């Protein structure tokens, strides 16, 4: 029978708090970010999210640069567990927006030169930020249920498409600068000065709606997510829900209230958790990124 004890590792794009990671035996491989000084610092370790967003506010027009972890970064985290004969499950941010997964796979290949029987599974979550964090949390839950490393990896691969995210941003300059929006969003939101609501699923972003103000974009964000559940007639108790904010917790609380009310209008009663969106996604979207994330939990029934 396959043993069930294994280490869960993620790149820092998962945006999980340090205390949660420490309490649940999660290893983090930091990504890197630099401002105008060109000095790259480690996400998760060298600064807080508040410090990062405040620096964005203090340096308008100075766009942060991000860098993925290299194979050596992953090797340094994987190796102690491999040497001890333990298994490793590594969950990486979507390959559509980063090469973090490729670095992890290269690390596995390098380690297997010396440890040919190394039990390591690397999963492309097709997710980012708090959505990726939900998948990491689900892996923790599966491990606590007694699922093996391979079983947990297979389940995460199967459920990563059972969720998505709606989000909006205060300033599209960052997203446009990074080349991460298509022509339709660019024309509608930048050319006309409107605010988009964007849908993210399986590593792909698409335009869900266009609004004329920040306040209306938050309202539409809540309505769009509630409409998803109304349309699919999903059982809300089967889903994890998060409301995410960048710099402003007050905006996050406003969005949470709008979302709770929108859910009630379509027959659902739920109080989602409010969490902060971290550095990697914030760097490419600006300090006023807001989002609602949902993911269907694994069930054996």
Q: How far apart are CA 157 and CA 200, in angstroms?
A: 17
pLDDT in tens, 168-219: 987 677 766 765 555 555 555 555 567 888 899 999 888 888 888 889 999 9
Q: List, in order, residues 6 or more apart from 71 with CB less than 8 Å away.
A: 103, 104, 106, 107, 110
Position 134 in a domain? yes
pLDDT in tens, 249-270: 999 999 999 999 999 999 999 9
- Residue 250 and residue 126 share a domain: no
Domain extent for 93: 6-31+68-159
Number of domains in the chain: 2
- Residue 132 and residue 19 share a domain: yes
Domain boundary among 143, 159, 175: 159
Q: How far apart are CA 191 and CA 245, in angstroms?
A: 25
pLDDT in tens, 70-107: 999 999 999 999 999 999 999 999 999 999 999 999 99
Q: How far apart are CA 18 and CA 22, in angstroms?
A: 6
Tokens standing for 63?
A: 């766009």
């Amino acid at each position: 029978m396959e043993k069930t004890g294994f280490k869960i590792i993620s790149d820092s794009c998962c945006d999980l708090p340090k205390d949660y990671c420490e309490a649940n035996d999660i290893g983090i491989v930091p990504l890197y970010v630099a401002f105008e000084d060109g000095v790259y610092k480690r996400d998760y370790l060298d600064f807080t999210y508040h410090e990062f967003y405040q620096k964005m506010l203090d340096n308008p027009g100075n766009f942060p640069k991000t860098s993925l972890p290299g194979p050596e970064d992953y090797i340094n985290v994987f190796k102690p567990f491999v040497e001890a004969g333990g298994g490793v499950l590594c969950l990486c941010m979507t390959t559509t927006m980063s090469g973090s997964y490729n670095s992890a796979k290269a690390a596995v290949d390098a380690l297997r030169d010396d440890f040919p029987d190394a039990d390591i599974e690397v999963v492309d979550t097709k997710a980012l930020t708090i959505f990726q964090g939900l998948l990491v949390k689900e892996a923790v839950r599966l491990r606590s249920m007694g699922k093996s490393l391979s079983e947990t990896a297979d389940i995460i691969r199967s459920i990563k498409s059972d969720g998505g995210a709606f989000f909006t941003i205060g300033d599209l300059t960052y997203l446009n600068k990074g080349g991460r929006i298509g022509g339709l969003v660019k024309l509608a939101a930048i050319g006309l000065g409107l605010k988009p609501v964007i849908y993210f699923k399986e590593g792909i972003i698409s335009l869900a709606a266009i609004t004329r103000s920040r306040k209306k974009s938050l309202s539409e964000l809540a309505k769009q997510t509630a409409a998803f559940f109304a349309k699919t007639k999903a059982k809300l108790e089967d889903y994890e829900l998060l409301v995410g904010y960048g710099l402003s917790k007050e905006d996050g609380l406003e969005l949470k209230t709008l979302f709770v009310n929108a859910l009630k209008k379509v027959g659902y009663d739920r109080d989602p958790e409010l969490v902060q969106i971290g550095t990697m996604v914030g760097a490419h979207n600006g300090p006023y990124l807001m989002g609602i994330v949902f993911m269907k939990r694994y069930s054996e029934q």
